[in-house]
Amino acid sequence: MPLAFEKRIFRQQSVYDIIISVLTEVTHKTGVKYMVRMIEGKLHIVSCNERQFSWRIDSDYNLMSGNYSESINEMKNKIIIMGEKDEYLTEVSNSDLINLYGQLQKIEKVDKANKADANKIAAELLEDLGKVFQESSIECIGIPSLKAGDEIILNEIFLGLQGYFYVDKDAHSYTDGFHKMNLTLKYTDEVLEKEVASQ
């Protein structure tokens, strides 16, 4: 069933930011996450619910090194939902995270949302943002066709990085005929969302 959207006018925003903003709104309405990727020079919108072909990176044969870090820079442990006329609709919070890290608040403005919609959006945002964000990067033998947006299966025995990841950034280098790549990874549930101003 097609989704209905109000007409929106974006000013001074990049095309990429506009696309991610629209996909964020779709995710809030449907619960389905999407990724943007380029395939043979064409833009593709890929549902994260549909498992795509995954490259395998393994300590035993093509992984050279790995790094892991945690950050609360993007964490939000309290979500407040406001209506299109700045009226308060609802809020949710995670008291355990607030006790650990202090209150990290996000105010989300939604258009034409009722109380049930606002509660759903708040709960989804808290689930997505109410956590410590993990970032992993690896250096491995190059795979020419692997690029940002692809999914990999990683088995890194020293740091214990195992499972499905999305490639957030890729950098390929060639030295004396040897192809190496550096990949920044995100866990499969950490898909980019963005809100940008529109009229």
Amino acid letter for position 161: L
Give the closest residue to 132 by CA, choosing from 79, 91, 187: 187
Domain boundaries, the chain: 15-71+133-187, 78-129
Handedness of CA 122, 88, 106, 48 (dihedral sign): positive
CB 191 within 8 A of CB 34: yes
**For 116, how many CA atoms within 13 A lie in the half-sphere containing its CB?**
1
Structure tokens at 102: 């202090």
pLDDT in tens, the chain (199 residues): 556 666 777 766 777 777 877 887 787 777 777 777 766 677 777 776 665 567 899 999 899 999 988 889 889 999 999 888 888 999 999 999 999 999 999 998 887 767 788 888 898 889 888 998 888 899 999 999 888 878 888 888 888 888 888 888 899 999 999 999 999 988 765 555 555 444 4
* Structural fold of domain 15-71+133-187: Elongation Factor Tu (Ef-tu); domain 3 (2.40.30)
**For 36, how many CA atoms within 13 A lie in the half-sphere containing its CB?**
16
> Measured between alpha carbons, how far is residue 32 from residues 28, 141, 153, 182 in Å?
8, 33, 21, 29
